[in-house]
Amino acid sequence: MNPLTPVEERTRADIPGSGRNGSLQARLRELVEGFLVEDRVEIRLGDPVGGGGPACCLPGCPRPASTKQLCKAHLERWNWVGRPDLAQWDPGDPPEPEWLSLARLPVPLRFEVAYGLLRARQTRAVDPIGIAAARRLLDTLATTEMSSLFDRGEHEWPTTRSGERIVKLRIGFITFTIDEIDRLQGICTGEYEYARDVWRLRRLGFTGTPEGWQLDFRRIDQPWLREAVKKFLRWRHDTGHSASGMHRDVLTLTRLGHALTECAGPAAAPEQFDRAVITRLLALFVADGFTANGRRQRMSSVKRFFAIARQHDWLPGVPARTAVYSEDFPAQTQLAPRALSAFVTAQLKNPGTLDKLTDPRWRLLFPLLMETGLRLNDALHLPTDCVVHDQRQAPYLRFHNRKMKIVLVGQ
């Protein structure tokens, strides 16, 4: 187990329930006063957690709709009286608002979740979920046997198995709550994140899929090398490198650390970082099963690391000879041409050939790919209502790749 970095030590000392600092717990309790009443939170329409989705269609009803545009209470009453025409039906007094019970959650987890619910209402910065999903989430939390969201580091989730299902920490209400509580303590900054050995990309401003990713530096044994790699990744981020590129850098440079460990041990000093380590790294990449092009890509990542680290003097003590030279790169292998040969194109354009495909989806897909130039993945994810028309009724294909784009369909 890797020791905690000073910042993690400090945070651990600050977290609620650690016994060393109960002041945050008291502060959270104070902040949710009046919001958490008798361990319950009343749900308002539009609350991102529990009040997501449309409202019950009956006038004056404070609950979100469950089925047939009615809330659960009204649905039951309506079923009870034999499902009359809604326009004619007098539903009586509106039901009480929905509520979420936090009573099953131990303290301080209860106050943490209540604070998250309060902040979600105030900021609306959480993807909305309905009451049933919110209750499932709380049930899941209650089964984790955690007394605080900070009992374990985020990289240690998933924490429990509930039945056969593994509970995962996904981007959503829980990560939002963790961020909000850290913000309250002033430790939700990029600077704080950079000091950690596991970076949460959501905290570094990434959105979309990479928002949920983490960069883990803990498998680099030598502390001085780990620090240099972290500085390099920070530089990568500052210069606009992609999340996937950064992720690959971390994996590659972690292997560099492994090569150093194999040559000179986990406590290797910078002076022991010689050319033998680079040779060892090449062997590791072969053992990892990377193709020549995969190895080239990774070697250029290592080369870049050395160049930037030397520029900034992040690797004092490492012999000047230690670098990646052009001879270290495996020979480039020629990739197959991306365009199809005329012979294959003619086969694909022949309706007789296409008729041999037994699956009608493939028969549709080939002409679609050829006529629109869509990527395969975008074509496979086309919705059923993907054709739109302009004022002159010319058909266009609407598809989603990363941004919304409009593409003219061939006649």
Query: Closer to Zn ion at the Cβ: 96 or 390?
Result: 96
Tell me how far, at minimum, the Cβ of 50 lies from Zn ion, in Å.
Answer: 15
Tell me how far, at minimum, the Cβ of 70 lies from Zn ion, in Å.
Answer: 6
Written as six digits, the tokens of 94 are 């509106």
What's the DSSP call for residue 94? P
Query: Closer to Zn ion at the Cβ: 96 or 271?
Result: 96
Query: Closer to Zn ion at the Cβ: 74 or 255?
Result: 74
The neighbour count for residue 284, using CB atoms within 10 Å, is 16
Q: Which residues here bind Zn ion, judged by CB under 5 A? A: 56, 58, 61, 63, 71, 74
Tell me how far, at minimum, the Cβ of 96 lies from Zn ion, in Å.
Answer: 10
Nearest alpha-carbon partner for 297 in 339, 255, 258, 338: 255
Q: Report how far residue 59's alpha carbon sits from residue 382's, in angstroms, rounded to the nearest whole number.
A: 38
Tell me how far, at minimum, the Cβ of 135 lies from Zn ion, in Å.
Answer: 17
Tell me how far, at minimum, the Cβ of 13 lies from Zn ion, in Å.
Answer: 48
Tell me how far, at minimum, the Cβ of 84 lies from Zn ion, in Å.
Answer: 15
Specify the amino acid at residue 190: G
Q: Please say whether the beta carbons of 230 and 309 come within 8 A.
A: no
Query: Closer to Zn ion at the Cβ: 63 or 230?
Result: 63
Query: Closer to Zn ion at the Cβ: 63 or 203?
Result: 63
Q: What are all long-range contacts of 2-9, with beta carbons under 8 Å and residues at least 24 apart? A: 2/197, 2/218, 5/195, 5/196, 5/197, 6/195, 7/192, 7/195, 7/196, 8/153, 8/196, 8/197
Q: Report how far residue 254's alpha carbon sits from residue 252's, in angstroms, rounded to the nearest whole number.
A: 5
Q: Report how far residue 250's alpha carbon sits from residue 109's, in angstroms, rounded to the nearest whole number.
A: 33
Query: Closer to Zn ion at the Cβ: 56 or 229?
Result: 56
Nearest alpha-carbon partner for 301 in 226, 245, 242, 227: 245
